[in-house]
């Protein structure tokens, strides 16, 4: 377990170092900082399992800073407080904020060991909600305005309409600043992500369900915030908790990500069963897609999970793009997995009306391509024959 400790003074840092010396299996990184400096030093904390904060409970400014850290900066993170000037009231307030444990100062090793144990045990209760079986398909793009959201929302409608009651589908619009899933589905601005961010300490399946907007196709959508938020308004821990809950609630979880890379977007990609990388046949599209592939590789993301989609593909007798496609595949070092036809009139009409493609025109080429793509994704998600056989055998014996 990795603990990031933010201590107010060299002296309290020394006290903690003493208290944690010799605790096995725990690495504590101690930083001497004020609570108001935490936001500027996210990188020191982001990848740690537990955050330990040195708080003077008698100082109202510190109590407010603690609330901000827990609710805005690191929602979902397991937080311990080493408190000076502790009172029953202040402990109650901190526990209501969602602090796992409040330790009086001077710190004692025995208290610290118990608190760390609590923190470690609390994390998985959010992470591993019962029945977490859903699969996550995340959409990213090789350039802006390439059609990633279109393929996610239109595909989501197809999947949801085909799903029986046991296969529920949701779309999480995590393109926090410029998400358009709600607009493309004509959904009134509602609770969405803003609601989860307001009360991260209450994050559970019921809160997630309540934050979803329902489209007529049966697709549940977690709308992006309607107000402008910082791209780092969410943390890796927070999105992980959201994904775990969504997996427990839905059998297919589609995720739309912003174009920019953040630590938390990387966390989403790492936890995705499939990554759909959407591109188009332009020099910029291929260049940016190559950059995405390289960044995915640099972050240790398995290329077997990636599916490359060429959107707005021109087809027909008069158009022969096959040599351009071959050139693009050569530049990218891999073949396209799926092709989606170009049909601006139909696609933009569907998005403007917030309807599935089939409601505008039945049996269109672009809809067939989209269905073929989702069939391919489903095939990739299906358990391998050997694994399926083993699962059947196990359930029989």
Ligand X SMILES: Nc1ncnc2c1ncn2[C@@H]1O[C@H](COP(=O)(O)OP(=O)(O)OP(=O)(O)O)[C@@H](O)[C@H]1O
| Beta bridge mates, 222 | 172
Q: Which stretch binds Mg ion (CB under 5 A): 9-17, 146-154, 226-234, 258-266?
A: 146-154
DSSP classification of residue 92:
H
Q: Are strands 2-7 and 27-32 parallel, antiparallel or unpaired?
A: parallel
Cα–Cα distance, 6 to 45 (Å, whole number): 9
Q: Which stretch binds ligand X (CB under 6 A): 40-48, 293-301, 340-348, 381-389?
A: 340-348
The site string for ligand X over 152-181 (x = CB under 6 A, - otherwise) reads -----------------------x--x-x-
Nearest-approach distance from CB 228 to Mg ion, in angstroms: 16
The separation between the first and the last C-alpha atoms of the chain, rounded to the nearest angstrom, is 37
Nearest-approach distance from CB 143 to ligand X, in angstroms: 7
Q: Which is nearer to ligand X, 136 or 277 (CB)?
A: 277
141 binds ligand X, rule: CB under 6 A: yes
Cα–Cα distance, 157 to 277 (Å, whole number): 19
Q: Which is nearer to Mg ion, 123 or 215 (CB)?
A: 215
- 336 touches which of ligand X, Mg ion, none (CB within 5 to 8 A by kind)? none
Q: How many CB atoms lie within 10 A of CB 8?
A: 18
Sheet holding 101-104, edge to edge: 27-32, 2-7, 50-56, 78-84, 101-104
| Beta bridge mates, 136 | 253
- 360 touches which of ligand X, Mg ion, none (CB within 5 to 8 A by kind)? none
Q: Which is nearer to Mg ion, 179 or 356 (CB)?
A: 179
What φ, ψ does residue 301 adopt, rounded to 5°?
A: -90, 130
Among 92, 145, 316, 383, binds ligand X (CB under 6 A): 145
Q: Which is nearer to Mg ion, 147 or 200 (CB)?
A: 147
Burial code of 312-322, b = ≥16 C-beta within 10 A, e = fewer?
bbeeeeeeebe
**Sequence-separated (6 or more) residues with CB below 8 Å from residue 123:** 49, 78
Give the relative orientation of helices 322-332 and 283-298 as an angle to the nearest 10 degrees: 30
DSSP classification of residue 39:
G
List the interface residues with ligand X, window 258-317 (CB under 6 A). Answer: 259, 311-312
Q: Which helix (H) or strand (E) element contains residue 256?
A: strand 252-256
149 binds Mg ion, rule: CB under 5 A: yes
Nearest-approach distance from CB 289 to ligand X, in angstroms: 12
Question: Which of 72, 11, 10, 1 lies closest to 38 in space, CA to CA?
Answer: 72
- 312 touches which of ligand X, Mg ion, none (CB within 5 to 8 A by kind)? ligand X
Nearest-approach distance from CB 154 to ligand X, in angstroms: 8
Q: Which is nearer to Mg ion, 64 or 178 (CB)?
A: 178
Total chain residues near Mg ion (CB under 5 A): 1
Among 46, 173, 220, 343, binds ligand X (CB under 6 A): 343
Question: Which of 184, 257, 207 lies closest to 76 in space, CA to CA?
Answer: 207
Among 340, 358, 373, 377, binds ligand X (CB under 6 A): 340
Question: Cβ(53)–Cβ(98) under 8 Å?
Answer: no
Q: Which is nearer to ligand X, 194 or 289 (CB)?
A: 289
Among 76, 134, 142, 147, binds ligand X (CB under 6 A): 147
- C-alpha distances (whole Å) from 326 to each of 204, 293, 332, 344 are 47, 17, 10, 24
144 binds ligand X, rule: CB under 6 A: yes
Nearest-approach distance from CB 126 to ligand X, in angstroms: 29
The site string for ligand X over 361-380 (x = CB under 6 A, - otherwise) reads -----x--------------
Q: Which stretch binds ligand X (CB under 6 A): 61-69, 192-200, 245-253, 346-354?
A: 346-354
Footprint on this chain of ligand X (rule: CB under 6 A): 141, 144-150, 175, 178, 180, 259, 311-312, 340, 342-344, 347-348, 351, 366
Footprint on this chain of Mg ion (rule: CB under 5 A): 149
């Amino acid at each position: 377990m990795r603990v990031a400790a933010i201590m107010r003074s060299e002296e309290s840092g020394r006290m903690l170092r003493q208290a944690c010396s010799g605790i096995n299996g725990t690495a504590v990184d101690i930083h001497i900082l004020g609570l108001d400096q935490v936001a500027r030093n996210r990188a020191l904390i982001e990848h740690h399992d537990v955050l330990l904060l040195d708080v003077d409970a008698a100082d109202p400014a510190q109590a407010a800073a603690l609330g901000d850290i827990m609710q805005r900066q690191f929602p979902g993170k397991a937080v311990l407080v080493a408190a000076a000037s502790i009172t029953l009231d202040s402990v109650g307030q901190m526990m209501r904020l969602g602090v796992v444990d409040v330790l009086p100062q001077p710190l004692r090793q025995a208290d610290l060991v118990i608190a760390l144990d609590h923190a470690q045990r609390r994390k998985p209760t959010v992470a591993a909600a019962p029945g977490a079986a859903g699969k996550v398909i995340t959409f990213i793009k090789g350039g802006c305005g390439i059609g990633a959201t279109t393929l996610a929302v239109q595909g989501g409608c197809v999947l949801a309409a085909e799903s029986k009651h046991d296969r529920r589908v949701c779309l999480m619009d995590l393109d926090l600043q410029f998400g358009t899933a709600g607009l493309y589905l004509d959904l009134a601005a509602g609770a969405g992500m803003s609601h989860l961010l307001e009360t991260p300490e209450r994050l559970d399946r019921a809160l997630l369900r309540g934050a979803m907007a329902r489209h007529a196709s049966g697709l549940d959508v977690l709308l992006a915030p309607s107000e402008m938020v910082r791209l780092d308004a969410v943390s890796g821990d927070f999105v992980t908790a959201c994904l775990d809950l969504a997996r427990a609630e839905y059998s297919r979880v589609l995720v739309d990500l912003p174009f920019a890379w953040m630590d938390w977007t990387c966390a989403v990609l790492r936890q995705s069963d499939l990554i759909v990388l959407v591109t188009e046949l332009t020099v910029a599209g291929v260049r940016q897609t190559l950059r995405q592939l390289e960044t995915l590789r640099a972050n240790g993301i398995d290329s077997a999970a990636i599916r490359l989609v060429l959107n707005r593909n021109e087809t027909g007798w008069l158009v022969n793009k096959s040599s351009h496609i071959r050139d693009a595949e050569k530049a990218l070092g891999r073949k396209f997995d799926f092709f989606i036809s170009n049909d601006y009139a139909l696609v933009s009409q569907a998005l403007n009306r917030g309807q599935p493609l089939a409601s505008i025109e039945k049996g269109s080429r672009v809809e067939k391509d989209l269905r073929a793509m989702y069939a391919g994704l489903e095939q990739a998600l299906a358990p391998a024959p050997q694994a399926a056989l083993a699962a059947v055998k196990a359930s029989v014996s």
